[in-house]
Structure formats: structure tokens, C-alpha cells
Structure 1
């Protein structure tokens, strides 16, 4: 009997990734801000360059709103309901923001308008690790990473959290042994950079056998220039054999 093809709903999650390691950015589709922030290295505060959030603090020097670490949870709860484009960079302290020159402020505005930096998205005064832009209409998030390894850390933590949540729903015995959860390491994902540099779909699901194992099907999508088109064609894409299978145990 022929093996039944999986449909989109048979997977736990689909994540589109297109990496440009030369310019230090990655385009994602399938990750929200609420998933992003807990999955990367600690973000202290965010300077809002384009947003619709009304409860942020105000920096007099730059006239940008910002969100402090104390208000981050409220920001995450509210932002997902705003359905507007969002652009921000992280920073260490407000003193760093107060030190920005007019030219540096102009460069930040340029990034929020063009989705790309005039020079570099990383400013020594801010000590920022990320420069983030998400577009609702385009169904994508573009992130500049100071350290490209943070992109694999993001994906690993995102998938590991999903596995943890799935494993926590079940028997008492499963919950009791949650310390032995299947997990993927960022270094494993780094082995597949050649795929995501072409543009790839990573699809997470639970394997039927062996029990307690998960898999990530990797499909190269080099013909897709716009992430929103991936979701329009998702069912057809999944009919194509995957290029690689990453097993998580």
C-alpha cells in the first residue's frame, strides 16, 4: 500500500527561512514577535521605529517611543492584536539612546522606511544585537543579526518549545519524564545553512516510529521570492519530496 502523503495539517509547524549571511539578515515567515523574543538572547529594551503600540515610553532626545524590559510582557500581549507593521532595534540603556547623533537617528528612520540599513543596522552606541522589521501584508519578518548563529538559536528554541508543549499534553508518565524531551541543538541546524541560504521550508512533525521522536522536513524553495506565495502553494509544496529530514530524539 502506498504511503499516505502528509497534508499541511499533519505538521506541528511550518517555517520559511531565507538567509543572507553576507548582509547578516534572515527573512522568516511563520514566526511571531511573541515567539521571537523568548527564543533569542535576552533583549533588554526595544526602540520602536515603526509601530502602533500606544503604551510605550517616550524618549525626548530622539522622539522615538520605546519599550523597557519591565513593560515587555504587556508589549507582547498587545502587539499581536495590532496587525500593523513593526520595526525596532534593541538597546541596553536609555543613556545609549540619548547619545545618538542626528545622523544616526536618520539612519534608523531610513531602516524603518526601506527595511534595509543605509550603512549598518548595528550601532555601537545602542549595542544592539538585532534590527527587526515585520510586515503583516507580506507575511514576513526580516531580522538583521549581529551574530548569525542567533538565527539558528531562534529556530532551535522555537521548535524545542513546540515539542515541549506537545509532550506536556498526555499521560502522567510523559509529564513525569519531561526532563528527557527530544531537543534539537542550534549546531545541528547550522549544518543545513546551504538550504536556507537558497530559501527553505522547515516543517516540524512527530514521527510515528520510533515513539518520542520528531522530524523536520527541509524543502528548498529557491523559486520563491515572496514568502506569502509559499503559504498560497503550501499543499502543493508538501507533495514534493523533502530534500533532507532532520531527526530529533
Structure 2
């Protein structure tokens, strides 16, 4: 089961470790949902042949100006797709053996020894994917950046879903604004438990759009997560994010029985 339709979004946030596990998030969706553009990136595991080879680290990089070319690639077909962003090109020349070893370790194991944020690179992310969109582990220097990314991602997924339901897929004028930071951050307690947003169960009415979410737990094996979700979805959702169309406001509702 590969979530080919990309119609669920699973997230398990580990705020203390500053990473989030995802199923249903692609590299393109991630990049296009960031509150700021993506810096240049150092490719740690990939099959892209359009990068610039660096003789100090013996790895390829992609400049911020060329990220759009990489976005056109089918990175899911790479298998492993891992990278770290960096601010200045000169920082690659300054990396020493131990730092390179840490980078290679995190790409190989998809885990860290020390927090994978490097002063020389001033990186904001470490992106570790296996079959991009199926299993993604992303480290965020700032968890608020994750919240902001999610606030852009969910409306984007909904707009795509609305376009599919429109005759001939013709997109209408964008209706949905970014979800405010306070609405996303209110979900932090259940994001930390492992949450699935189901876009296949979104309800569209004239008054509102309602996205249901279910707590499914902490998973590294995404096949098991999908199996658990199939069992959980027969019960009522644990939370909703709703968009009130008339007022043009977002709201979050969490089942209060979760905290009793």
C-alpha cells in the first residue's frame, strides 16, 4: 500500500528531538509550503545528475537557483532521497571530517547521534526520505517553521482536491488562506501522538470545509500505520480542522474526551 493518491497525511512530531515523521508529504509539497524559499542543498543520498560536485565533501549540491529543476524530478523513484540545506557555498569548503561523518551517518541510518544542525551550514532542515512521500523524516531547526509549513500545506492539498472534483479539473480562484499559526499549534498535543488527516474524507458544504483527523500512534513502518488507520477510521475522528467559508476563518476542534 503506497498512498499513491496522496490522500492521507500522517505526522508524528517529536518536538524535543526536533523532527517529524511523515507519510503523504512529497518533496515538492514540502518545498512549496515553506514560509521562505529553500536554500541551496547538499545531496546526501539521491540519483540526481544535475548537481554541482564539491571536491571537499565529495558530494553534489544544488543551488537555490536550481531547486526548480530538482522539483521536476521524480525523486520518489530514487529510493533514498536525503539532503541538508546550507546558507553559504563556502561552508562546504569548511566542513571537516567529523562533520561529514555525521552527515553520512544521518543519511544512512535516518537517525542522529547529535542534533543535526551545523553552525557552519546554518541549516534549517535535514530531509530524509525513503520512497519520497511514503516515509519522510524531517528535522526542523525551529518547530514553528513546521507549523507554518503545515499551515500552507493543508490548504494546498485541499485546493488540489477541489480542482480534481471540478469539471475538467479547471481550477477556480484560490479560496483558502493559510491556516494561522495558533490553529496549527493547538494541535501539538495530538501531533505528538501520531495523527492522520484524511483528505479522502473531507466534507465540502456551502458553509464550510471539514477535514477529519484520527490519532493512530507512533509508526516507523508505514504499512502498519495504514493498517491501523483503516481500523481507526470506522470510529469517529479525534479532531477536525474546519474552514468557515462565509467568515473565511480556520478553526480546530479536538475531541475533549481525549483528555479525560
With the shorter chain as reference, the TM-score category is: 0.7 to 0.9
Q: Offset at 1:121?
A: 0.6
Secondary structure in 2 aligned to 1:52? coil
Aligned to 1:32: 26
| Pair 1:179–1:202, CA change in 2 (3 A) | closer
Q: How many residues align?
A: 236
CA RMSD for the aligned pairs?
A: 2.7
TM-score, length-scaled by structure 2: 0.81
Separation (CA, whole Å) in 2 of partners of 1:48 and 1:224: 26
Residue 23 in 1 paired to residue 17 in 2? yes
Check whether the contact 2:193–2:216 (CA below 8 A) recurs between aligned residues.
yes
Check whether the contact 1:85–1:135 (CA below 8 A) recurs between aligned residues.
yes
Check whether the contact 1:182–1:212 (CA below 8 A) recurs between aligned residues.
no
Aligned to 1:62: 57
1:225-244 correspondence runs (5 A) = 225-244=220-239
Residue 140 in 1 paired to residue 135 in 2? yes
Name the structure, 1 or 2, with higher relative contact order (CA <8 Å, separation 6+): 1
1:203-222 correspondence runs (5 A) = 203-204=198-199, 206-209=202-205, 211=206, 213-222=208-217
Check whether the contact 1:216–1:245 (CA below 8 A) recurs between aligned residues.
yes
1:181-196 correspondence runs (5 A) = 181=176, 183-196=178-191
| Pair 1:46–1:79, CA change in 2 (3 A) | farther
After alignment, is 193-202 or 133-142 more displaced?
133-142
Q: Offset at 1:226?
A: 2.3
Aligned to 2:48: 53
Q: Offset at 1:136?
A: 1.9
Q: Offset at 1:206?
A: 4.3
Separation (CA, whole Å) in 2 of partners of 1:51 and 1:124: 24
Secondary structure in 1 aligned to 2:190? helix
Of the three residues 102, 121, 124, the one matched with 2:119 is: 124
Aligned to 2:75: 80
Separation (CA, whole Å) in 2 of partners of 1:175 and 1:24: 36
Q: Mind listing any 5+ residue stretches in structure 2 that lack a counterpart?
A: 245-260
Separation (CA, whole Å) in 2 of partners of 1:182 and 1:93: 33
TM-score, length-scaled by structure 1: 0.84
Separation (CA, whole Å) in 2 of partners of 1:81 and 1:92: 25
Separation (CA, whole Å) in 2 of partners of 1:227 and 1:36: 19
Q: Offset at 1:19?
A: 0.6
Secondary structure in 2 aligned to 1:106? helix
Residue 245 in 1 paired to residue 222 in 2? no
Residue 101 in 1 paired to residue 96 in 2? yes
Of the three residues 193, 202, 205, the one matched with 1:198 is: 193
Check whether the contact 2:27–2:133 (CA below 8 A) recurs between aligned residues.
no
Q: Offset at 1:17?
A: 0.5
Q: Offset at 1:245?
A: 1.6
Separation (CA, whole Å) in 2 of partners of 1:213 and 1:12: 22
Moved over 6 A (4+): none
